[in-house]
Amino acid sequence: MARDLSTSETCYIGPRREATTERNLRNLGNLRIVGSGFGMKLVCGLLLFLILATGAAQAQIGSASSVVPIADTRHPYEYILLCGGPSLHLWEQYKNEPHDNYWGCFVRAARTRLQELRPVIKGNASATVTMLIYLDGYRSRSVQEKRDLIPLIYSVRDAYQLNLVPIENGEDVIRYLNAGQPRQQIKIADFEYFGHSNQDAFMFDYSNQVGSSSKSWLHQNQLAELHRGLFAAGAYVKSWGCYTGESMSQKFRAATGVPMVGAVGKVDYSNREDALNGIVPVLSSVGGRWTR
């Protein structure tokens, strides 16, 4: 039976947004400056703001070398990306803001994160990279797209030389985190989720099998099944889904001792970053913020 985990709206996937820097610079060019002295101060102040804002945007993504622990021969680590599946037009077509206009929003965002991690993982024999993914959602979406999406997903595996592990539910995720590798030797340095969520759960098949509901999820109450000692010192954990910071982040920390960054409010996957040639999810609610 489907479980309705949609007590809050989930991630909105809308039209393409301009890259942050490009948009800000265009706005700056449209300003009318009155008075040379005041104008110069205003321009300098705005330029400083743009530099800091750009840095903040990059910090939101996370500088791979400074955020995640780096594996070496004494400390082999695993870097895990978890991807949910997209919704279907069948269920979303009558909504004011339908989700997942682009089938690959979550996979593309995960791939963008892999690009960031490349300085840490590329050519590093001590680094294991794994993508856990709900493939059934992409099989369903393949019918809508009228093409097989699964080979496109496996092309990411081949391009980044990672382990691709299909999952069906939250139990599979818990099982892999606990015992997918010999955890006494290989700790988890990075764990990030890309997909639909609300404050209580990651929803792998939101609006895919049943409209506005989920039959495959990882609920916050399941986090107590995670073993202690899975994560490396300084491990980076983040949910890029909506609302996770309102409850699930606290449950994750209570279960593992490791903070999980999560959103208060919605997250939007339509933000294209030209510098990375990819998708970087951004906060989209008024007053939204990242929290641990």
Q: What is the pLDDT of residue 26?
A: 39
pLDDT in tens, 166-204: 999 999 999 999 999 999 999 999 999 999 999 999 999
Structure tokens at 27: 């706005």
Can you tell me the distance from the alpha carbon of 33 to that of 30, in angstroms, rounded to the nearest whole number? Answer: 10
Per the listing, tokens 């330029």 go with 47
Among 271, 272, 269, 266, which residue's Cα sits nearest to residue 284? 266
pLDDT in tens, 235-269: 999 999 999 999 999 999 999 999 999 999 999 99
Q: What is the pLDDT of residue 28?
A: 33
Residue 37's pLDDT band, with cuts at 50, 70 and 90, is low
Q: Is the pLDDT of residue 147 over 90?
A: yes
Average the pLDDT over 57-76 and give the result. Answer: 70
pLDDT in tens, 260-283: 999 999 999 999 988 888 999 999
Per the model's pLDDT, the better-predicted residue between 19 and 115 turns out to be 115
Per the model's pLDDT, the better-predicted residue between 147 and 272 turns out to be 147
